[in-house]
Amino acid sequence: MSANLAAPLASIVTILAVILYILTLTRAGSMRGKHKIQAPAVVGHPEFERAYRIQMNTLEAMPIFLPALWLASLYFSPRFPSVWWLPAALGLLWVIGRYLYMQSYFADPSKRGTGFGVAGLAAVVLLVLALVGTIMSWPAMSPA
């Protein structure tokens, strides 16, 4: 295995993240219908409000997660071949964390912290890997 598999693995993780988002979207829509909450209302029954906040919080987290995943996969993995798989593993951890967040928030909002923390930590580490890989990719400056 080598760093040239980093992008295909990042693709799989991206697909899993999109599937997870679709799950949050359909749950919010289902709760809207179940509790007869007409759009554009975003308040009503607590079950709907939890589903809606899960959906929106996941949507808010994705623009941080996805670029960090891809930048780390494209720039970090080739420069650290012994841990080329790390961005994809962290991406999978993010998806698992967000799933835990979704399940725990829906059951009891006060219990959402673990999933939120797991996903947040994975996103921060991905961002650090992306930064390290990007900096290491800059061409060495040489005198003209």
In a domain, 143, yes or no: no
**Exposed, middle or buried by CB within 10 Å (0-12, 13-18, 19+), for 19?**
exposed
Position 121 pLDDT exceeds 60: yes
Q: Is 17 helix (H, G, I), strand (E, B) or coil?
A: helix
Nearest to 90 by CA among 130, 122, 42: 122
User: Rounded CA gap, 85 and 103, in Å?
Assistant: 27
Q: List the CATH number of the domain containing 111.
A: 1.20.120.550
Residue 143 confidence class, pLDDT cut points 50, 70, 90: low
Which residue type does 141 have? M
CA 17 to chain centre: 6
Tokens of 13: 């993780």
In a domain, 38, yes or no: yes
Tell me which of 137 and 124 has the higher pLDDT. 124
In a domain, 49, yes or no: yes
Average pLDDT in the 85-101 region? 98
Q: What is the pLDDT of residues 57-88, one digit of tens each?
A: 999 999 999 999 999 999 999 999 999 999 99
> What size, in residues, is the chain?
144
Total domains present in the chain: 1
Residue 1 confidence class, pLDDT cut points 50, 70, 90: low
State the DSSP code for 49: H
User: Rounded CA gap, 62 and 95, in Å?
Assistant: 10
In a domain, 142, yes or no: no
Q: Which pLDDT value is given to residue 2?
A: 72
The domain of 63 spans 3-134
Which helix (H) or strand (E) segment holds residue 97: the answer is helix 86-107
Q: What is the pLDDT of residues 2-57, one digit of tens each?
A: 768 999 999 999 999 999 999 999 999 999 999 999 999 999 999 999 999 999 99
Residue 139 confidence class, pLDDT cut points 50, 70, 90: confident
Residues 93, 118: contact at Cβ < 8 Å? Answer: yes
Q: Which pLDDT value is given to residue 138?
A: 86
Q: Which pLDDT value is given to residue 144?
A: 54
